[in-house]
Amino acid sequence: MSQIDIFNKNYERCIYRVNNAFEIKTSMKGYYRRGLAYFNLGNYYEAEKDFMKVLELSPDNKKAKSFLKKIAEKEKKNVKKL
């Protein structure tokens, strides 16, 4: 269901669903989807934490690595603005 929420750009609902699912069991997919939702909401701090957790569970996950790189680029741009 959280994947559908991401497709429909309902990121808050995705986060809610994943958080509820994590009360039962955590999963790499859950961390990835919640990280993606946070990223799309501009909450890069929480997104980074979730993508790092994905890499703990799946060290070769290219998508998580890609999003971490995007977060680093966005943070670098924000520092330059200051």
CA separation, residue 11 to residues 33, 48, 57, 68, 71 (Å): 9, 16, 23, 18, 17
Nearest to 42 by CA among 14, 11, 20: 11
Instruction: Report the CATH fold assignment for 2-81.
Output: 1.25.40
pLDDT tens per residue, range 8-27: 999 999 999 999 999 999 99
The yes-or-no verdict on residue 4 having pLDDT over 90 is: yes
Q: What are phi and psi of 10, to 5 degrees?
A: -100, 75
Q: What is the domain partition of the chain in residue ranges?
A: 2-81
pLDDT of residue 61: 98
Does residue 51 or residue 81 have the better pLDDT? 51
